[in-house]
């Protein structure tokens, strides 16, 4: 279009040029001797042409004529009459180029046609191409997982040992085939979030040195029917071309939930996708050398068909690490961080009971951020302690202005918790007591120091935890004229613990060893819609009475303990009012002073 406009403007501009030179003017100039040169350009249609003359004043004139021969004859006659020697230059007849007249227009037309067709195809196929790719797998293939092996995974010794068998089979399959062994077709990694399931899958692929396909369970599901099943077929077809290989499906519960439950009815898009996955993993087709690994933290809602041997043959539980595992994880994450001499990773591992690998990494990362903000060049124990509070409880709001009355209430409340942590044998000891408000909305906090990891909860420990929960409310009742809403979360937690003792763990003598736990999970995550309780109204009333009796009994025992330690309660509250935060040594010194005083009185009586 731009070329056409330029050509039109050029010719339009050429046509606008005016020429007032006439044929008679030419003859007059020739007779007067004003002409110095004459050139004649003949047209293809001879004898027409164009005569151009150059005058003595340097100007150039031209005139179009109908008979070139007549002009030549006129110039010859004038030369004879005036004795001039004007020899006209006669140019060859101008002929148009074949390229310009024939080939170029055809090429331009062809280019225009091609451009138009391409634009039409682009517009027409814009949506169609996306629709055609809907059924394609979205899995990303990593030919080689670099810098990733089992040495980079800390705290999961037994889990790595199970996966090392898979790696050995991929490297040396004949050793197992000779004995008639069959490679596991699927490995399900189950466990809480952040325990390292995805990390284990990457390490397995890195150790085996085979192609690694990774995809999320949600990538299979679309609003269009049949797309998920098509993507499953395409994924396994691509995996067969690269066998032996590993397919890793993260969060498989998004596509492999139990069929026939929930609000969606029986046959929906998700179930078609699951059916196709079941067929691909163990159907009539043969998938030699393809190992499917999957990760989930909701194994309870998966369809039973996908959990049977032949599909997911092996289930690897990736649980929360113990003290030793937490220390190994901390050492891995602290390797590239400058650590101060006062940092004790073993102590950090001991007080971070229940932390996962992701939690520990986040703890050290938050500590690094705090150290950088403070302008330090290495991490100290102070930053790690601050990060512990920030991660576990919430960032302390030291700038928040609170009244002396609220501060006093909080001091006695937290002191009530702390005394029970210290006195009761199965909880505690106290690590930190604070009356500084936190980001979680708490006016203060009491952080215990777990002595060791325990696999089971005993009835005695659960009762002591209920007593600790009630310690804040008890302290308020004993010291203040009124009670506050500050113990609402404590009461909620105590009630939940007591209810679990009665309904789930069979700790009630009256109700016996029967599980009354109401598994009323949401219907949208794989449970039946018409779910009813497994017990009657009389049993429900008995459960409520038993829960209340447990809480009331714990309340009376906890109140008696705090009444026996009123001196420490007042001393702890006064110390918190003064310092706002106290550690284990300062808190325990309150009891040590009392014990020393009692020992001295006993010695005096003996004397």
The average pLDDT across 247-255 equals 86
DSSP state of 58: S
Give the per-residue pLDDT at 561: 94
Q: Does 88 carry a binding-site annotation? A: no
Rounded Cα gap, residues 26 and 43, in angstroms? 19
Copy the structure tokens of residue 596: 């020393």
Q: What is the arithmetic mean of pLDDT over 379-393?
A: 84
Q: Are residues 221 and 228 in contact, defined by beta-carbon separation less than 8 angstroms?
A: yes
CA-closest candidate to residue 281, choices 322, 233, 317, 336: 233
Would you state the structure tokens that stand for residue 213, as one six-digit string?
């396909």
**Before 340, cis peptide (omega within 30)?**
no
The predicted-structure confidence for 169-221, as pLDDT tens digits, reads as follows: 888 888 888 888 877 888 999 988 888 888 888 888 888 888 888 888 777 76
Nearest-angstrom CA–CA distance, 360 and 459: 30
Condensed to tens digits (0 to 9), the pLDDT of residues 453-482 reads 777 789 999 999 999 999 999 999 998 878
Pairing of strands 445-448, 430-434: antiparallel
- Note the pLDDT of residue 499: 93
Is 268 assigned to a binding site? no
The pLDDT of residue 223 is 56
Closest CA to 256 of 308, 194, 192, 195: 308
Q: Is the pTM of this model over 0.75?
A: no
The per-residue pLDDT for 596 is 45
Q: Percentage of the chain surpassing pLDDT 90?
A: 16
Please report the pLDDT score of residue 412 as a whole number. 93
Is position 155 annotated in a ligand binding site?
Answer: no
Task: Flag whether 460 is marked binding.
Answer: no
Mean pLDDT computed over 139-165: 76
Domain covering 140-317, topology: Rossmann fold (3.40.50)
SS3 (DSSP) at 441: coil
> Residue 143: what pLDDT?
55
Reply yes or no: is the peptide bond before residue 244 cis, omega within 30 of 0: yes
Q: Which residues are identified as catalytic?
A: 414
Q: Which of 284, 255, 282, 285 is nearest to 271 (CA)?
A: 255
- Give the Cα separation of 21 and 210 in Å (integer): 89
Fold of 404-598: Methane Monooxygenase Hydroxylase; Chain G, domain 1 (1.20.58)
3 state SS of 62: strand
At 87-126, the pLDDT tens digits run 777 776 666 666 667 787 888 888 889 888 888 776 655 5
Q: Is 431 annotated as a binding residue?
A: no
Q: Residue 194: left if φ>0, alpha if ψ -120 to 50, beta else—which one?
A: left
Is 490 marked as a binding-site residue? yes
Encode pLDDT of 516-530 as tens digits: 876 544 544 445 555
CATH classification number, 323-392, choose in 1.20.120.80, 1.10.8.60, 3.90.1720.10, 3.30.70.3280: 1.10.8.60
pLDDT for position 13: 44
Report pLDDT digits (tens) over 402-458. 788 888 999 999 999 999 999 998 887 888 898 888 766 677 888 887 766 777 789
- 455 DSSP assignment: S
192 annotated ligand-binding residue: yes
In this predicted structure, what is the pLDDT of residue 386? 85
Q: What is the pLDDT of residue 159?
A: 86
């Amino acid at each position: 279009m731009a070329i056409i406009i330029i050509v039109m403007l050029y010719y339009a501009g050429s046509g606008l040029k005016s020429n007032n030179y006439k044929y008679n003017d030419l003859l007059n100039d020739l007779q007067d001797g004003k002409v110095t040169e004459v050139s004649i350009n003949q047209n293809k249609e001879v004898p027409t042409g164009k005569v151009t003359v150059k005058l003595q004043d340097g100007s150039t004139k031209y005139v179009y004529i109908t008979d070139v021969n007549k002009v030549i004859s006129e110039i010859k006659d004038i030369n004879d009459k005036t004795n001039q020697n004007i020899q006209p230059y006669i140019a060859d007849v101008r002929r148009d180029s074949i390229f310009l007249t024939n080939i170029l227009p055809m090429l331009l037309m062809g280019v225009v046609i091609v451009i138009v067709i391409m634009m039409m195809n682009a517009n027409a196929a814009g949506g169609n191409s996306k629709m055609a790719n809907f059924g394609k797998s979205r899995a990303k293939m990593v030919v080689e997982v670099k810098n990733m092996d089992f040495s980079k995974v800390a705290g999961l010794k037994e889990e790595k040992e199970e996966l090392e068998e898979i790696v050995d089979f991929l490297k040396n399959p004949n050793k197992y085939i000779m004995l008639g062994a069959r490679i596991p077709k699927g490995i399900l990694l189950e466990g809480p979030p952040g325990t390292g399931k995805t990390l284990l899958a990457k390490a397995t692929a890195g150790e085996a040195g085979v192609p690694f396909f990774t995809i999320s369970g949600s990538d299979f599901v679309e609003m269009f029917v049949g797309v998920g099943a098509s993507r499953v077929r395409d994924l396994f077809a691509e995996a067969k071309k690269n066998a032996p290989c590993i397919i890793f499906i993260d969060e498989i519960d998004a596509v492999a939930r139990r069929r026939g439950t929930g609000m969606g009815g029986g046959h929906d898009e998700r179930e078609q996708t699951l059916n196709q996955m079941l067929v691909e993993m163990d159907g009539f087709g043969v998938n030699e050398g393809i190992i499917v690994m999957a990760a989930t933290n909701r194994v309870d809602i998966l369809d039973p068909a996908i959990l049977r041997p032949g599909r997911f043959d092996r289930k690897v539980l990736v649980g929360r690490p113990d003290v030793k595992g937490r220390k190994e994880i901390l050492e891995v994450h602290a390797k590239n961080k400058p650590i101060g001499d006062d940092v004790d990773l073993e102590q950090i591992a001991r007080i971070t009971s229940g932390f996962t690998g992701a939690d520990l990494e986040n703890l050290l990362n938050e500590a690094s951020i705090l150290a950088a903000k403070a302008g330090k060049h290495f991490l100290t124990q102070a930053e790690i302690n601050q990060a512990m509070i920030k991660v576990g409880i919430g960032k302390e709001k030291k700038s928040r202005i609170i009244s002396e009355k609220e501060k006093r209430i909080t001091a006695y409340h937290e002191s009530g918790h702390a005394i029970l942590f210290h006195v009761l044998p199965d909880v505690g000891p106290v690590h930190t007591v604070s009356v500084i408000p936190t980001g979680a909305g708490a006016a203060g906090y009491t952080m215990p120091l777990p002595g060791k990891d325990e696999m089971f909860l005993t009835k005695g420990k659960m009762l002591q935890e209920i007593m600790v929960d009630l310690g804040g409310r008890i302290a308020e009742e004993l010291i203040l004229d009124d009670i506050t809403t500050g113990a609402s979360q404590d009461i909620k937690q105590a009630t939940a613990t007591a209810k679990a003792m009665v309904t789930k763990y069979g700790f009630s003598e009256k109700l016996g060893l029967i599980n009354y736990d109401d598994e009323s999970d949401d219907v949208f995550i794989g449970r039946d819609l018409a779910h009813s309780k497994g017990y009657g109204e009389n049993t429900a009333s008995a459960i409520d009475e038993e829960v209340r009796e447990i809480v009331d009994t714990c309340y009376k025992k906890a109140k008696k303990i705090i009444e026996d330690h009123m001196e420490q309660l007042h001393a702890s509250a006064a110390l918190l009012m003064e310092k706002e935060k106290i550690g284990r040594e300062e808190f325990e010194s309150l009891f040590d002073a009392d014990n020393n005083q009692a020992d001295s009185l006993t010695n005096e009586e003996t004397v």
